[in-house]
Structure 1
């Protein structure tokens, strides 16, 4: 049973209920109820506990069902793709409030499981599982990029692209291409950044995916010193923002605050430090309190105190 596994994991970690409660910011009484089976955790709570206890798996009933399915892939549990989706959603939310390094081990364990399922489930279930494989490997790519392992990030984005194409998910494929382009942003290479982002825009269908890619295109042009092209891309991104009514689950980070912070990066590269700081400050103010303190916001905070840069040449 899940509650028994939780207790064993806590004891193996050498933590008392009180010590674990302090780490995960839950009450001792709530954790006691989880260990005795009186209460059932949400996927996010289960994921947070798994990270705190150093487990290589998500402590949840969904994970137990998936483990059974991995051992019996020809007879998958009903709704296996839905279980995968619930666990992934919890880990995405957890990464947004903790760090990529903390979430990476359980994500990699789940990627191995989903890969096994995709290889062996019956044909009737395959495309749904391959769709999940694309989302899990895309998330793993992002976590590796956020921890500085760009080689592994490239590998996982390639796997995500392949799975997305097989599952006929053009927006997921576009996101994988766009995030491969983001790796070139991290290494300040405008050439591949622009070409991969343009490839993503050719693939993308939904306005949310096109919007994020268009903002990245603006960053690429700004990095290359192409002021007019960067300004045009920002204008096109603004028009796309008005069209967004739905955001795919793998773009859980997408909101107005994030978009303002992205605008700040472009403005900083264009030599407009006051406007950049204003955009970043507005974006940070719009984040949830737990998210605003996350490690991924550091690059934006640096713009609030950065010295004015030389304006790029018009290109």
Structure 2
């Protein structure tokens, strides 16, 4: 169990060694990420060792702080190299952190239980990213339970928001709206950023159902909340590190794309925010850039600009195949559409080869 914690430090963090799912692209290079700052100093390493071996009955604040750092670095690693190489490490650490709660009491027990909830929420996200929606739902339920036990309203609301995301991903608009609205039952105890995340999920549900007016109203509310959050980012929980006005531009583009494809609205309403978002999103968010790039390709296709759709799809296809199965699936669907309308275009054949389309 100690190795599950301390293996994540060191000069080279070879997450792939812990990979728990098959590499979706066997011919591509193994992802490797350097995280030299995670290695604990000798004193902290001794504290962790004694805690995990039972030589010290109670975890202390320095160990908890280090575990928070580990989780934060794992989240950023997953942004860059995807869920496959990361999930086994995080699951092992979740088990270790959960074991620590048995010997903790008072405020430290609440802090550890909240941390376990954060680990469970992250595991759920990665399960969904890897296509295991049943496991994702189970882990979101556990994250919500642990958050409620710890009195962590922001994580409880986040878990409900992410369950709404899961409902959206399987095309259930009603459940998406209801779960995202339930996340806001904690209003008054959660931050504006967490409220904004829940509200943009409500917009996603309405867009999926083709309700334009409800979609736009929810988006406007989400933007106001995210602007409030940007005024005091230090008050937001650590897992909201990625969520701000730039990110909401991407959400707006994706949400508007759902409306375009369901109601025939002007596709430029999706293209402009998606282009803005991709221009501002750091290159380290490789997995997410693949998804939003696929959305942009679909938006160009909906606008009737097949050349732009083909070019955009070719730009993002390699990372989609390597790191984002949902983006790759969308691009394969788009490839089929473009093949029927641009069958002699060499770019379409090139796209098909990258996507491994027949």
Answer yes or no: same fold by TM over 0.5. Answer: yes
2:221 corresponds to 1:227: no
Tell me the CA shift for residue 152 of structure 1.
Answer: 1.1
Note the alpha carbon deviations across 1:171-223, whole angstroms, 9 max, x for none.
11100000011101110111211111010011242110111111111110010
Tell me the CA shift for residue 71 of structure 1.
Answer: 2.5
Note the alpha carbon deviations across 1:251-280, whole angstroms, 9 max, x for none.
222133221110001111121321211111
TM (norm. structure 2) is 0.68
The gaps in structure 1 that reach 5 residues or longer are 14-21, 27-39, 47-58, 310-315
Tell me the CA shift for residue 134 of structure 1.
Answer: 1.1
Which is further off, 121-130 or 274-283?
Answer: 121-130
Q: C-alpha distance in 1, partners of 2:160/2:31?
A: 37
Q: How many residues align?
A: 269
Q: C-alpha distance in 1, partners of 2:178/2:245?
A: 26
Name the residue aligned to 1:75: 58
The gaps in structure 2 that reach 5 residues or longer are 18-29, 261-265, 304-358
2:265 corresponds to 1:270: no
Q: C-alpha distance in 2, partners of 1:219/1:280?
A: 15
Name the residue aligned to 1:19: none
Q: C-alpha distance in 1, partners of 2:41/2:256?
A: 44
Matching residue within 26, 30, 37 for 1:42: 37
Tell me the CA shift for residue 60 of structure 1.
Answer: 8.2
Task: Show the 5 A alignment for 1:43-192.
Answer: 43=38, 65-72=47-54, 74-123=57-106, 125-192=108-175
What is the SS of the residue equivalent to 2:36?
coil
Tell me the CA shift for residue 250 of structure 1.
Answer: 1.2
Which is further off, 245-254 or 104-113?
Answer: 245-254
Name the residue aligned to 1:289: 283
What is the SS of the residue equivalent to 1:95?
helix
What is the SS of the residue equivalent to 1:260?
helix
Contact 1:218 1:230 in 2 (8 A): yes
2:197 corresponds to 1:215: no
Note the alpha carbon deviations across 1:85-140, whole angstroms, 9 max, x for none.
11111111111111111111110110000111123324452111111111111111
Matching residue within 248, 269, 283 for 1:259: 248
2:233 corresponds to 1:250: no
Quickly say closer, same or farther: Cα 1:289–1:267, change in 2 above 3 A. same
What is the SS of the residue equivalent to 2:154?
helix
Note the alpha carbon deviations across 1:30-84, whole angstroms, 9 max, x for none.
xxxxxxxxxx9302xx6xxxxxxxxxxxx98767744532321623245222121
Quickly say closer, same or farther: Cα 1:280–1:8, change in 2 above 3 A. closer
Matching residue within 277, 291, 305 for 1:299: 291
Contact 1:256 1:283 in 2 (8 A): no
Contact 2:128 2:166 in 1 (8 A): yes
Quickly say closer, same or farther: Cα 1:24–1:220, change in 2 above 3 A. same
Which is further off, 244-253 or 108-117?
Answer: 244-253
Contact 1:257 1:284 in 2 (8 A): no
Quickly say closer, same or farther: Cα 1:220–1:76, change in 2 above 3 A. same
> What is the Cα-based RMSD across aligned positions, in Å?
2.9
Contact 1:207 1:240 in 2 (8 A): yes
Name the residue aligned to 1:308: 302
What is the SS of the residue equivalent to 1:188?
coil
Q: C-alpha distance in 1, partners of 2:210/2:217?
A: 13
Contact 2:140 2:162 in 1 (8 A): yes
